[in-house]
């Protein structure tokens, strides 16, 4: 809270997925969305006239850092490798008076409870297409939780 020396976390979004790739893709999209809300990108904005654009920014700011992180292929690869190993990912980008923390971590997903109303297995197929077997994969027991602070 400004002026009180207290720290307050505001969750700007969360997302659950079974894939580290989807988790990273969502987080990159959120980084760009927040950057555009803080300061629209002059290169993509329709209202910025060519004479208003500055070639260089004297000091990198938070929206620029968020865009850089979201668009840099080397950052993507490092984040993908870290998530593939099952490790949490945290990127902290400071701004004047606050900081943005992009965080992804694995979470355990409890297995679904079996339904007591299923018919007993009498050896007969319940598949509507006789002679065909079901190719369903087993449900995953892990996932990724992404709180965007």
* Residue-level pLDDT at 149: 47
Calculate ∠ Cα 106-109-111, nearest 5°: 155
Q: Is 127 among the domain residues?
A: no
Instruction: List all residues 6 or more positions away from 34 whose beta carbon is below 8 Å from its beta carbon.
Output: 12, 63, 66, 100, 148
Q: Which domain holds residue 35?
A: 10-47+57-110+142-149
Number of domains in the chain: 1
For 11-59, write each residue's pLDDT tens digit: 888 888 888 889 999 999 999 999 988 887 777 777 777 777 666 656 6
Ramachandran angles phi, psi of 126, nearest 5°: -100, 5
Q: Is 31 among the domain residues?
A: yes
pTM of the model: 0.64
Q: Is 28 among the domain residues?
A: yes
Q: Is 122 among the domain residues?
A: no
């Amino acid at each position: 809270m400004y002026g009180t020396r207290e720290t307050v976390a505001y969750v700007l979004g969360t997302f659950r997925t079974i894939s580290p790739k989807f988790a990273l893709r969502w987080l990159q999209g959120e980084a760009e969305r927040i950057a555009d809300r803080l300061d629209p990108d002059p290169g993509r904005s329709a209202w910025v006239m060519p004479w208003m654009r500055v070639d260089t920014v004297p000091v990198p700011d938070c929206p620029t850092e968020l865009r850089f992180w979201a668009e840099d292929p080397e950052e993507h690869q490092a984040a993908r490798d870290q998530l593939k190993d099952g490790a949490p990912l945290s990127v902290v980008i400071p701004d004047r008076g606050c900081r943005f923390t992009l965080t992804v971590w694995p979470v355990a997903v409890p297995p679904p409870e079996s339904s007591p109303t299923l018919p007993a297995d009498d050896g007969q197929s319940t598949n509507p297409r006789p002679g065909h077997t079901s190719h369903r994969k087993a449900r995953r027991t892990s996932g990724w939780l992404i709180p965007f602070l």
